[in-house]
Amino acid sequence: MSINVKNIHKQFGEFTALDNISLDFPSGELVALLGPSGCGKTTLLRIIAGLEQADHGDIILDGENASNTHVRDRQVGFVFQHYALFKHMTIFDNVAFGLRMKPKAQRPSESKIREKVFSLLQLVQLDWLADRFPAQLSGGQRQRIALARALAVEPRVLLLDEPFGALDAKVRKELRRWLRKLHDELHITSIFVTHDQEEALEVADRVVLMDHGKVEQVGTPEAVYNHPQTPFVYSFLGSVNVFHGRAEQEYLKVGSEQLRHHNESYGHAKEVFAFARPHELKIVDNSHHEGVSARISRILSFGIETKVELDGLNENSGQHYEVHLSQQQREAQSLLVGQEIKLVPSTLALFPREAVALQPSEKEG
Amino acid sequence: MNTLRQFSVLPGFGLSLGYTLIYLSLIVLVPISAVFVFTSQLSLSEYWQVVTSPRVMASYQLSFGASLLAAGINAIFGVLLAWCLVRYSFPGKKIVDALIDLPFALPTAVAGIALTALYAQNGWLGQIIEGYFGIKVAFTPIGILIALVFIGLPFVVRTVQPVLEEIDTELEEAATSLGASRWQACRYVVLPVLLPAIMTGFALAFARAVGEYGSVIFIAGNIPMVSEITPLMIISKLEQYDYTGATAIASVMLIVSFILLLLINLLQSWAAKLTGRNA
């Protein structure tokens, strides 16, 4: 079932949680709402579910305006970050809850309920836990039960609010893969909220990037990662190096130093931010006439790549850079901690400075 | 659980158990056993005669009956009050919150006199109730019930409140998104979690009501066989210097109260187990 969000606006007092958002979620897709905390992604999800009311705008489910339909009647499955399992009920009763709450006329018989609950528990591979209480389960198991419970009422869409947010890294990875597999089996239109870029890029068919109540970019994981359209997307997806400077013809002036860039369209003396990914930076000798000076502060050489962390010098002191080198590059150059070098980008993405609201703390996502 | 002579990183079991036992003995057990010591001066037949005399029998019925009923009323309205205080914010909430504890602080005689003045034939409320509905409140068992509801009010509210605060509204949202109506969400999701707390509050309110004297005595009217409570029977025996008679009745009260409280506690732990808390 398709979901259309039309001009949704939500205000909490002075704070604008959602600023006139319009989005289309095609049938059968698994979409990630990605953004830093406070960007409005959870609010949007709750409005789609009907747990929250928008100030104005419409939610259209399957072509029908559902803005005034009660949660109860929207037929959406909602999965909460902290599972929201009923502690006083067994796992079986938790999953059976939605079926048992149906009006008498639509309620299946107890044997039908049993059948259905066990088929769902098998789907989430936890049928051996039917008689336990939620407190006896691990976090990952609880979230799978929460999912089974939501699926029991055969929802038309599945909404997941930071479903793996409360789990440790290993279980997270496992569940991620499992959710993707489950979606490929069921093909139910699903939206999940996350602040973890890796999770969004790995699991979703499409990613919606949000910041400050606005949609920044929508696209496939590849598209948003390889072609970020806004400075926010650039800095939020993956680590990135920023240069503050002035564009002058084909050069970017960073303090007294200069870098070459290839964006011809930038005119004279424009204040810009320039972005380069860690693998797009080269370390060159200090005598090189182009490049930004920096001092190596740490060299981390585990894994396939070597990570070099650097501190800016001169006008750029206080600025940090990160460069990723392959093992060959690492071996070709003899780098030492404390050494002063210059950084030269192979490519630079420029954005006019006034358009940028950087959040360095969110850089690592 | 910690048993004797077992190593523990958090020691203090022996000390705290010893302290508990001595304290309980001094404060509770010794005075109560004095009741039984005094009572033992009576022969069994004398004892039986005192504790089963018709007036005393009528007073048991009234005392325990009215106390159970009052605790029941408090259980229902206490949950309602706690719900309002936890879930909604409204102007004057702090004042309402403070008002709930007032029956604790008020000298019971003051409460009794105030209630009597209010519900007597010529009182504000008494006039209306008796004039329009023809129901006499003061100097009848109904008056006693009102006094007992008054003094028992804080117990259920204060036991339910913290538990209710801990219940995440997400649980109700989950229930609603699964198709449950508001009533179903309350009945199947919230109430089972509250039940143990409600029962604790019920037991406390009941215990308080059984022992209540000051506030009841004014509004009861103390008509033999109709509106005499058991504590009054004990006092009237004392006033006649019949100490053993008084302690005999007191011993019956103690035993019945103890059994009832024990039952409620058992029921409560059963309910707690049912809600998976001890699982």
Helix (H), strand (E) at residue B164? helix B141-166
The answer to whether the CB atoms of B276 and A153 lie below 8 A apart is no
Task: Answer whether B279's CB lies under 8 Å from B273's CB.
Answer: yes
ipTM given for this complex: 0.80
Chain A: closest CA distance from residue B3 (Å): 25
Chain A residues with CB under 8 Å of B178 CB are: 97-98, 101, 149-150, 152-153
For B187, nearest residue in chain A (alpha carbons): A101
Interface test with B, best of A72, A75, A106 (most B CBs within 10 A): A72
Class of domain A239-362: mainly beta
pLDDT at A240 over 80: yes
The pLDDT score that the predictor gives to residue A357 is 52
Could you tell me the mean pLDDT of each successive run of 10 residues in chain B, 279 residues long? Answer: 62 86 91 87 89 91 94 95 92 91 87 89 84 82 92 92 91 93 92 90 92 88 86 91 90 90 87 61
Task: Answer whether B237's CB lies under 8 Å from B245's CB.
Answer: yes
Average pLDDT over residues A31-49: 92
Chain B residues with CB under 8 Å of A84 CB are: 168, 170-171, 173-174
Average pLDDT over residues A304-315: 86
Interface test with A, best of B177, B187, B198 (most A CBs within 10 A): B177
Residue environment code for B212-226, b if the CB has 16+ CB neighbours within 10 A, otherwise e: bebbbbbbbbbeeee
Q: What is the DSSP letter of A129?
A: G
| CB of A80 less than 8 A from some CB of B | yes
Q: What percent of chain A has pLDDT over 90?
A: 46
Chain A residues with CB under 8 Å of B177 CB are: 49-51, 71-72, 76-78, 150
Q: Distance between CA B156 and CA B197 in Å, rounded?
A: 8
| CB of A82 less than 8 A from some CB of B | yes
Q: Enter the pTM of the model.
A: 0.80
CA angle A104, A107, A113 (to 5 degrees): 145
pLDDT digits (tens, 9 = 90+) for A255-304: 778 888 776 666 666 788 888 888 888 888 888 888 888 999 999 888 78
The pLDDT score that the predictor gives to residue B206 is 93
The pLDDT score that the predictor gives to residue B5 is 58
Interface test with B, best of A43, A46, A82, A87 (most B CBs within 10 A): A87
The pLDDT score that the predictor gives to residue B13 is 82
Which residues have CB under 8 Å from A183's CB, separation 6+? Answer: A30, A190
Q: Distance between CA B36 and CA A68 in Å, rounded?
A: 69
Domain boundaries, chain A: 3-233, 239-362
DSSP helix/strand/coil, B4: coil
The pLDDT score that the predictor gives to residue A360 is 43
Chain B: closest CA distance from residue A82 (Å): 9
In angstroms, the Cα distances linking A275 to A351, B18, B102 are 8, 71, 66
The second-level CATH assignment, the architecture, of B48-274 is Orthogonal Bundle (1.10)
For A94, nearest residue in chain B (alpha carbons): B175
pLDDT digits (tens, 9 = 90+) for A321-360: 999 988 888 888 888 888 888 898 888 888 887 655 554 4
Q: What residues pair up with A341 in beta bridges, in sequence order?
A: A294
| CB nearest B279 (choices: A50, A76, A135) | A135
The answer to whether the CB atoms of B279 and A136 lie below 8 A apart is yes
The answer to whether the CB atoms of B177 and A51 lie below 8 A apart is yes
| CB of B173 less than 8 A from some CB of A | yes
Q: Distance between CA A355 and CA A218 in Å, rounded?
A: 19
The pLDDT score that the predictor gives to residue B139 is 85
Interface A:B, Cβ pairs < 8 A: 73
DSSP helix/strand/coil, B226: coil
Q: Distance between CA A294 and CA A317 in Å, rounded?
A: 8
Q: Distance between CA A219 and CA A32 in Å, rounded?
A: 10
Q: Distance between CA A184 and CA A191 in Å, rounded?
A: 14
Interface test with A, best of B178, B184, B277 (most A CBs within 10 A): B178
For B275, nearest residue in chain A (alpha carbons): A88
The answer to whether the CB atoms of B173 and A78 lie below 8 A apart is yes
Task: Identify each DSSP E strand in chain A by its residue range.
Answer: 3-12, 15-25, 30-34, 56-61, 64-65, 76-79, 157-161, 189-194, 206-211, 214-219, 241-248, 251-254, 257-260, 270-276, 281-284, 292-300, 306-312, 320-325, 340-345, 349-352
The DSSP code sequence of A55-77 is SEEEEEETTEE-TTS-HHHH-EE
Q: Which CATH number describes the domain made up of A3-233? A: 3.40.50.300
The strand order across the sheet containing A251-254 reads: A257-260, A251-254, A241-248, A270-276, A349-352
| CB nearest B168 (choices: A50, A84, A149) | A84
- The mean pLDDT value of chain A amounts to 87
Distance of CA A17 to the CA centre of its chain: 17
Across A30-44, A180-194, A232-246, least confident range: A232-246
| CB of B188 less than 8 A from some CB of A | yes
Residue A363: pLDDT band (50, 70, 90) is very low
Chain B: closest CA distance from residue A198 (Å): 27
| CB nearest B177 (choices: A78, A86, A90) | A78
Chain B residues with CB under 8 Å of A50 CB are: 177
Chain A residues with CB under 8 Å of B278 CB are: none
